[in-house]
Structure 1
C-alpha cells in the first residue's frame, strides 16, 4: 500500500473510532489482551511466513488467476472488518446490506438485466455457480444440465453435489458446440462460459441462444473470469457479439475477486427472473425482518456472509466505474494488450511458439525447438520449474488433448495423449509494458 492509501485508511479508521466511542466509554476484557512482546513476536513470524508466497503483486508473476486487490479496495474491506458486519439479515449489517444491494444492482445494470432481477454476492464464483445450477435444477426438475468440455470442472462437480446429471458437450474445431451430440428434450439448462479459465475463450452464446429458445432450454452464463470484459463490448478491441447478448441469459455469474479488483471472498450470482426467489423460501426461528423487502439471507444458499466484501465492492465501483473509457475499461484494455504484445513477441521468437491467438488476456505457448509432444511437455515443465527455482518468473502449466494440439500444430509428432504447455494470465495492467522482459527471462531456459 502506498503512502497516500495508508493516509486515507488511517484517516477513515480514526473517523470510525469516533463513531465507536459515541456509544460510551468501555474497556476491552483482559482475557482478550495480548502483550506487546507476544504480538511483535507472532507478527514477525507471520511476516516471515507470508514472505514465502509467490510475488502475486508483481508483473513478473504471470501464472494463475491471482490479481491483487486495489489498495483502496482492501482499505475499505479492512474498515468494514473492524466492525465485522454479517450480510445475512439486514440487522446484521444495515449499511453493508444496503451497499451490497446497490453494488449488485449496478452489476445487474451492467449485464443488461435492468431493474427487475434477483441477485446477491457469494463467497466465491464456485458458490455462485452452485446456486445458479441449483435454481436450474429446481426450475427444470428431472432435466440434465449441459456444459462444454472446456467449461470449469466445478460444473460437473456441482452437478454431483446437486444429484443432477451433467452432460459434456463436445466442442468442434471451429469452437462451436456440437449440439447434435445431445438430446435437447433431456436438457433443462445449458452453461455458456464467457472467458474460460483455461485459455480465456469466449463460447458462442450467439449460436446457442436460438437453439436453446427453440427447445425451451434455460441459459446460464459463467462469466466468473471474463464478465468484466463486457465493458469493452463496443470498443472494437474484442468481438462484442456475445457480450451484447448476455441480458438474454436466465442467470449470470461473475467473480469480482478476479478482474473486479476485490479481495478473495467475493462472487456474484444474478437471475433475470425475480420469481426464482420462490426456491429460496425458508422459515427460521431466529431470522426476523426489519424491512418488508426480501433480506439477503432469504435469497442465498449461504447464511452468514462477510459484509466487508460488499463494502469493498461498493467502494470500488464508486472509484472505478463500469465504463469503457473510465474506471474498469482502461485497466482491462491494458490486460488485453499485454497478452497481445506477448503473442506478437513470441511470433518472432526462435525458442517459443504460441498455441493460438489470445481472445482475452490468457496466452498459451510452448518451447518450439523440439520434435514431439512428449518433448514439449517435458521442456515446458523444465522451464516452469526453472522460473520458480531462480525466482525469475512465475508461469502456470496447461494440459491440452494431443489431437487438439495436433490440429493447430501438425509439424510436431504426437506420441502422447496430452500435451503440457506453458500458460500466462496477464491480469495486471502493469504487464502491458513488462512482457518483453518476461519473454527475455523465459527464453534463457528454453
Structure 2
C-alpha cells in the first residue's frame, strides 16, 4: 500500500503543480534554494535519526497508543501541505475548510447527532476536551465539573486551566459511578469516558443519563480513544449498550489520530446544541471577510489549524466509511479480536495472568510466578526492559492500586501501595494474527 500511496501522491502533486503554474510563471527566490547535494545529505542523516524510533508501525509494538497513519492519510496530508492551508478563516483554505465541515458532519451523524450540531477538528484530544469543558463552564457558571477516578488526567488539568472547581467520583465494584458521593446541585457537567486510556474501560453512560437529566446536568463524553468502536455497537464483539446512547450527550470528543488512521494531530469536538456557538463569538479586524458563510475560526478556541488534517481525514473517510461491515468496522473488529485472543491465551498460560477481561483492545496482565504485589511489579518491569533490550517485543507498564488488584486477585499478598503490571494496546489490525507469537515471546522471558 505504501508504494500505491506514493504513486498516488506523485500524480496528485503533478496535477497540483499544473494548477500552481496556471497563475503565471514565477521562480523561487534564491534565498530559499538548497542544493541537491545538501538535501540528499540532510535526508540521509534524517533517515538514520528516525530509525531510533520504536517500531510503531510493526505488530511487535504493543506498547503505547501509537497507531500508524494509513498511507492514504499521510499521502493526502503531504499533498495538502504542499499548499499549507490554514482552516481558521475561509480565505486561509476554502477547500480544506469545506472538507473539514464535511468530515465533522460525518462524525456528528456517526454519533447520532443528525443534522443539528456544532463542531470542528482540533490539534488534539486535550484541546478538544478543553473546549468541551470551557463550554461546560460558560453554560453553567459557578458549577463544578465531575469526572470519574478512571478518567484521563487532562480533565482535572483543564479544570485548573479554566479555574473551574472539579470533583472526582469514585467507581464502585460494579463499575458504576458512586453518584451518592456528590451533591448534584453543585454539578454542572459530568464527564463519561467511553474507552479509558489505561485499560480501555467503558464507563456506564446508561447509569449517568437519568441522573443527569433529573438534575439538569450536562453530559460530556470523552471518546478520544474509544470513539471508533461505535462501529461495532451492533456486533457481538463488544457490549454496545453505552455506545448506542452517545447521542444523549451534550458534547463528544473523539481523536481521529488514535483509531482513525490519521497523523498527529487530529482531534475533534462536537456539540449537540449549535446554540453554544454564542460563547465563541468574537471580532477580528482582518479575518472572516471573504465569505458570509461560517468560518471555522468563529467556533474554535484555536486560531491557526492545519487544513491538511481535514484533507487527510476526508480522504480516509472516502476509503473507509464509518460502518460495521465496511471501512472502519472491520478494522476495529480485528483490533478487538486481537485483544480477546491475547486474553484467552493468557488465561491458558502458565506464566502470565490477565488482570481482567478487556472491554476494547487493551489488555493488562502480569507474571504468574509471584506471591506479592511487589514481586509482580519487579518482574513486570524486568520483562518490559528485556523485550526492549533484545527488540523482541515492546510493551507498556500500568500502575494499579494494590487494594483494587487484590480484590480481583485475592490469592496474592499486598505488600505495596501500588502494583505495576504489563499492558498491551492492540491498535493495529495486523496484531490479530501476531498476538500468539507476541505472547510466546513474552513467556520466553519468564
State the TM-score bracket (shorter-chain normalisation).
over 0.9
Shift of residue 2, structure 1, vs aligned partner: 2.5
What SS does the corresponding residue of 1:421 show, helix, strand or coil?
Answer: strand
Whole-angstrom CA distance in 2 between matches of 1:288 and 1:214: 41
Separation (CA, whole Å) in 1 of partners of 2:4 and 2:153: 41
2:220 equivalent in structure 1: 220
Equivalent residue pairs, number: 446
Residue in 2 aligned with 1:321?
A: 321
Match of 2:117 in 1: 117
In 2, Cα distance between the equivalents of 1:91 and 1:183?
Answer: 48
**Residue in 1 aligned with 2:274?**
274
Note if contact 1:121-1:269 (Cα within 8 Å) is conserved in structure 2.
Answer: yes
- Give 1:375 shift: 0.4
Distance in 2, matches of 1:252 and 1:283, equals 27
Q: 2: distance between equivalents of 1:116 and 1:291?
A: 22
| 2:242 aligned counterpart, secondary structure | helix
Query: Cα deviations across residues 63-121 of structure 1 (Å, max 9, x unaligned)?
Result: 00000000111000000000000000001000000000000000000000001100000
1:283-317, Cα deviation, whole Å (9 max, x unpaired): 11112332222210000000000000000001111
Kept in 2, the 8 Å contact 1:146–1:189? The answer is yes
The 8 Å contact of residues 90 and 288 in structure 2, kept in 1 or not, is answered as no
CA distance, structure 2, for counterparts of residue 361 and residue 145 of structure 1: 28
Q: Give 2:135's aligned residue.
A: 135
2:107 corresponds to 1:107: yes
SS at match of 2:145: strand
CA contact (8 A) 1:289 1:295 kept: no
TM-score normalized with structure 1 length:
0.99
Asked if 1:392 is matched to 2:386, the reply is no
SS at match of 1:434: helix
Q: Which runs of 5+ in 2 are unaligned?
A: none
- Find the counterpart in structure 1 of residue 61 from structure 2: 61
The CA RMSD over aligned residues, in Å, is 0.7
- Which residue matches 1:373? 373
CA distance in 2, matches of 1:2, 1:89: 33
Which blocks of at least 5 consecutive residues in structure 1 are unaligned?
none
Q: CA separation in 2, counterparts of 1:314 and 1:161?
A: 32
Shift of 1:40: 1.4
Q: Is the 8 A contact 2:194 2:202 kept in 1?
A: yes
CA distance in 2, matches of 1:414, 1:54: 34
Q: 2:297 — aligned with what?
A: 297
Matches within 5 A, 1:243-258: 243-258=243-258
Q: CA deviation at 1:345?
A: 0.5
- CA offsets, 1:158-214, max 9 Å, x none? 000000011100000111100000110110000000000000000000000000000
TM-score (ref. length: structure 2): 0.99
1:226-256 alpha-carbon deviations (Å, 9 max, x no partner)? 0010011111221111111100100000000
1:339-418 to 2 correspondences below 5 Å? 339-418=339-418
| Residue matched to 2:145 | 145
Contact 2:288 2:295 in 1 (8 A): no
Corresponding residue for 1:420? 420
Instruction: State whether structure 2 residue 434 is matched by structure 1 residue 434.
Output: yes
1:199 matched residue in structure 2: 199
Shift of 1:383: 0.3
